């Protein structure tokens, strides 16, 4: 091989060596910091019920958390674009810590409003947590990016095991104040996670002079077919998973299943969400973004089909398992596709808008899930998936046809 080729090989090796180191750090952060997600979801409604004067407001802490996450997603991305990923993730861990402190304090003094403040801090953490997957791609070569994103999300499998176990071990740690012990565990989680983040080595983007543009205009970036499809499919994959999962426990208990059995179904759903991440990236490299996204959307549809064809325990297990794998392929495939549509200078604004849109539709799906279940029933929660799946499927088909036309045009020019 000539000297130029040797140089390129060494450069790629050095880049991916750093990327793999960062993936290890982010996997740790995903596993440790991510474990507070399930703690806050599990306890949010219970703590709210314990403190709210009006019990109809019991789930308001979860709503506040989701809203704060949506509103802070854009600003935190721009902050990281200016000051770096490490600074942004440390702010996230600090916010998660404050959320745990405020929530534990709220339970100790009996203040519902303080619990809502804690939920808002937790929402800020959630917004930073979502950027772990993009950070994994920052120092990776084009070939390694899908694998890096996938492996970092695989840390969610570990967090899914840690979080519920911490709830079980610490909920009644303080006899006089139920749930406070679990929120104090959240404080420890954020300290341990922040220590890991200190080892992250991602260069801070070069600063722009005031008034200087950071790459292309958003209009130009979002006029690209790949950008449009990546954003649509990420929104649909995440929101439909949320739509169905949010109602699952309530639906199962209404059909006579125990809470413990419903929790087991959700546990296997979470395993299905994250376990494929160990090889999803390799599948994307082998078969391409669109094929993997298509499989994800198909599995989301299969999940709905299984659910409407019976309410036996096997239907719930199979449906939620297919839902988890469908989310994994659809969301990781969309994330990997989005990273091919922008430059380093453009990533803060593009990723910020993407995650704002994803969080917005997820918030709507979370609110709408309970409303649909209460008004129309479990079957109609599944029917509600059809319009979004249709839009996403048509978007993928549109991009696939466009890509084929471009390839044919290139061949004719030769």
Return the domain boundaries, the chain: 11-200, 220-414
Q: What CA–CA distance (Å, rounded) separates 393 from 15?
A: 35
**Among 1.10.3720.10, 1.20.1250.20, 2.40.50.140, 3.10.50.40, what is the CATH number of 220-414?**
1.20.1250.20
How is domain 11-200 classified at the architecture level of CATH? Up-down Bundle (1.20)
Could you report the per-residue pLDDT of 65-112, keeping only the tens digit for each?
888 998 999 999 999 988 999 999 999 999 999 999 999 999 999 999
Which residue stretches of 171-224 are H helix? 180-197, 218-221
Q: Are 89 and 7 in contact (CB under 8 A)?
A: no
Q: What CA–CA distance (Å, rounded) separates 226 from 396?
A: 9
pTM of the model: 0.81
Q: What CA–CA distance (Å, rounded) separates 18 from 76?
A: 24
Other beta carbons less than 10 A from residue 110's beta carbon: 11
Q: With residue 413 as reference, give the H or E element that holds it.
A: helix 385-413
The per-residue pLDDT of the chain, averaged, comes to 89
Write down the residue that tokens 């390839």 correspond to: 407
Joined tokens for residue 18: 């750093």
User: The dihedral of CA 13, 19, 25, 28: what is its sign?
Assistant: negative
- Biggest CA–CA distance in the chain, Å, is 78
**CA–CA–CA angle 146, 225, 232 (5° rounding):** 70
User: The dihedral of CA 257, 261, 267, 268: what is its sign?
Assistant: negative
Could you report the per-residue pLDDT of 236-290, keeping only the tens digit for each?
999 999 899 878 877 888 899 886 787 788 878 888 998 999 899 999 999 999 9
Three-class secondary structure of residue 54 per DSSP? coil
Establish whether domains 11-200 and 220-414 are of one fold: yes
**CA–CA–CA angle 196, 362, 72 (5° rounding):** 55
Q: Are 221 and 346 in contact (CB under 8 A)?
A: yes
Q: Are 140 and 19 in contact (CB under 8 A)?
A: yes
**What pLDDT score was predicted for residue 62?**
82
Q: What is the pLDDT along the chain (414 residues), one digit of tens a residue?
A: 444 444 444 444 456 899 999 999 999 999 999 999 888 877 887 788 889 888 767 778 888 888 899 899 999 999 998 899 999 999 999 999 999 999 999 999 999 999 999 999 999 999 999 899 899 999 999 889 999 999 998 998 898 888 888 888 888 888 889 889 999 999 999 999 999 999 999 988 776 666 666 688 888 999 999 999 999 999 999 999 989 987 887 788 889 988 678 778 887 888 899 899 989 999 999 999 999 999 999 999 999 999 999 999 999 999 999 999 999 999 999 999 999 998 888 888 999 999 899 988 988 888 788 788 888 999 999 999 999 999 999 999 999 999 998 888 877 776
Joined tokens for residue 6: 């040797």
**What pLDDT score was predicted for residue 9?**
43
Joined tokens for residue 252: 């199962």
Write down the residue that tokens 């996670």 correspond to: 193
């Amino acid at each position: 091989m000539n000297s130029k080729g040797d140089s390129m090989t060494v450069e790629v090796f050095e880049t991916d060596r750093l990327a793999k180191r960062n993936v290890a750090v982010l996997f740790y952060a995903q596993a440790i910091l991510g474990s507070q997600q399930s703690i806050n979801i599990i306890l949010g409604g219970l703590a709210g019920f314990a403190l709210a004067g009006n019990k109809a407001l019991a789930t308001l802490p979860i709503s506040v958390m989701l809203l704060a996450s949506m509103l802070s997603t854009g600003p935190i991305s721009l902050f990281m674009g200016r000051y770096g990923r490490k600074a942004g993730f440390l702010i996230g861990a600090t916010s998660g810590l404050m959320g745990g402190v405020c929530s534990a304090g709220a339970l100790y003094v009996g203040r519902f409003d303080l619990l809502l403040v804690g939920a808002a801090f937790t929402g800020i953490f959630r917004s930073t947590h979502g950027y772990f997957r993009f950070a994994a791609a920052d120092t990776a070569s084009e070939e390694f990016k899908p694998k890096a994103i996938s492996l970092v999300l695989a840390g969610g499998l570990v967090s899914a095991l840690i979080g519920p176990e911490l709830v079980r071990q610490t909920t009644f740690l303080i006899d006089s104040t139920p749930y406070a012990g679990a929120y104090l565990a959240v404080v420890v989680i954020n300290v341990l996670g922040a220590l890991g983040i200190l080892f992250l080595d991602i260069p801070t983007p070069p600063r722009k002079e005031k008034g200087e543009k950071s790459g292309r205009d958003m209009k130009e970036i979002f006029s690209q077919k790949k950008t449009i499809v990546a954003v649509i499919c990420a929104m649909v994959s995440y929101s439909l998973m949320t739509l169905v999962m949010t109602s699952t426990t309530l639906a199962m208990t209404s059909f006579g299943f125990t809470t413990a059995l419903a929790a087991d179904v959700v546990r296997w759903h979470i395993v299905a969400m994250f376990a494929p991440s160990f090889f999803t990236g390799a599948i994307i490299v082998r078969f391409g973004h669109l094929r993997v996204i298509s499989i994800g959307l198909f599995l989301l549809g299969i999940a709905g089909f299984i659910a409407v064809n019976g309410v036996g325990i096997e239907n719930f297990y199979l449906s939620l398992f297919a839902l988890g794998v469908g989310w994994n392929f659809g969301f990781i495939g969309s994330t990997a596709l989005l990273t091919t549509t922008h430059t380093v200078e453009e990533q803060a604004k593009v990723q910020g808008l993407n995650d704002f849109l994803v969080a917005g539709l997820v918030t709507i799906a979370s609110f709408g899930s309970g409303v649909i279940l209460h008004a129309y029933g479990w079957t109609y929660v599944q029917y509600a998936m059809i319009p979004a799946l249709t839009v996403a499927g048509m978007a993928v088909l549109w991009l696939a046809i466009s890509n084929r036309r471009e390839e044919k045009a290139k061949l004719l020019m030769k």
